[in-house]
Structure 1
């Protein structure tokens, strides 16, 4: 029997958030790992494996699964994992961990915030490239949009896997999106994209809204997508915006907010992304 924590990650004002399953890894098959999200009513599951200590911090390997298979990274899943680890090991102090995925090592931290936890992590390097032509037309066609609905330059951003960042002229227009998921999946599969992160341009305070569609990985629409928000933060930093708060999940009845900050070092812009999380229940499986 394994204890599974169901965590709502990236909440807004203590409500909403993306339900995520977090549990210690074991000799599961990948098929068994894929069944856990559907069994518990979450979009993702995160599996934790302790690997000792690094830099005087507890170290963990993270693996992320949806019903469709394994992902190389999951931002809100990382926030959920940090909430669970902080609850187990952090006590009343801020919690720091060395985290590892199949692709990279990075740091995470969490602190208690009332009944929940505020967690953040180093998102790692983000690559950006311009897009247009057939690639852009194919994706916006899957969203049921015309090109004049795009509010600025779209780009493809990668933080492990590429996804299209698509600026939409307003929050109202973003709310009205009704994608054809079959067409959108075909477009994303055809161009090797994880999905499309459609967003309203940030205001002068760095507030924005977004919707993430990723039918190719079994997530028609994501309640909260921290890694795509980190990608947007890297893109926005090029325009002098260094702090974002992005609202998601309203269309799905689960309001969420992801925060991201950008600062420059010798390697370019470094992004830190995170949000609030609460463990809502634990179950035995």
Structure 2
């Protein structure tokens, strides 16, 4: 019924398992069950015209970056073509997935326009308290499909030590209409960073890889980034985002389960 694609691997390992299947008549309640059946956090459905729909156990999402990477890899595998025209949320765009000698697909796409604003003091305070962090004024709220809080920490050790109160974080996210919180270490001189994405409000306590939030961070900082994720979940992942004159290009490596 579905194919599992591991998206945004690091050095050929780990990645975020994603259920990918062709769109077919079924109720949304059935679509919400797909991630759990696949042992994944997300499922992506591909229509014949290239339209993508994304689901978690909580319902449909307007966009999903690692789900788009997974869909591009499967489409390239099926057709032998690298480039594919996709539609997400009424937006039409090209994505590509190149297969290498190692059998991995290198997928990338333009996630679309990103807007950034300063968070309110209440947003910073409530989310930071749920994460167990001292509030910081350097956060931002970035919107790509849905808004999410981007919150920096000093280093990878601080990031690794986070143990958020997920009930409080869910309540804060729902109160402020946030997808969740993307906590990241300050990038080094080469644009390498680490991040953890907590999104209990959409049924994902922590995401192995979150490409759209990484694209948001690249837009916010104006930097090319390689962001490591998933270590706390035992599935190392890396998301790559590059700044282009026309916007951000985001993606990563992917492999299809045999």
Deviation at 1:144, TM superposition (A): 1.1
Distance between the aligned counterparts of 1:6 and 1:27, measured in 2?
20
Paired with 2:103 and 2:154, the residues of 1 have a C-alpha distance of: 37
Aligned to 2:67: 77
Query: 2:92 aligns to what?
Result: 105
The SS at the match of 2:240 is strand
Alignment RMSD, CA only? 1.0
Q: Is residue 117 from structure 1 mapped to residue 105 from structure 2 by the alignment?
A: yes
Contact 1:44-1:65 at 8 Å conserved across structures:
yes
Name the TM-score, length of structure 1 as normaliser.
0.88
Q: Tell me which of 17, 26, 29 is aligned to 1:28.
A: 26
Residue deviations 1:119-177, cap 9 Å, x none? 00011110000124111101101101112xx4x61000001100000001111000000
> For residue 259 of structure 1, what is the aligned residue in structure 2?
240
Map Cα deviations across residues 37-94 of structure 1 (whole Å, 9 max, x no partner). Answer: 111111111101112xxxxxxxx0100001110001000000000000000002xxx5
Counterpart check, 1:144 vs 2:132: yes
Q: Distance in 2 between matches of 1:102 and 1:108?
A: 15
Is the 8 Å Cα contact of residues 249 and 256 (structure 1) preserved in structure 2? Answer: yes
How many equivalent pairs are there?
257
Q: How far did residue 21 of structure 1 move?
A: 0.4
Corresponding residue for residue 57 of structure 1 = none
Q: Which stretch shifts more, 158-167 or 127-136?
A: 127-136
Q: Map 1:84-95; keep pairs closer than 5 Å.
A: 84-90=74-80, 95=82
In the TM superposition, residue 263 of structure 1 has moved relative to its aligned partner by 2.1
- List, as ranges, runs of 4+ consecutive aligned residues in structure 1 with deviation greater than 4 Å: none
Q: TM-score, normalised by structure 2?
A: 0.97
2:57 is aligned, of 63, 67, 74, to 67
**Unmatched segments (≥5 aa) in structure 1:** 52-59
Q: Distance in 2 between matches of 1:138 and 1:105?
A: 36
What's the CA shift for 1:205?
0.1
Find the residue that maps to 1:45 and give its secondary structure: strand
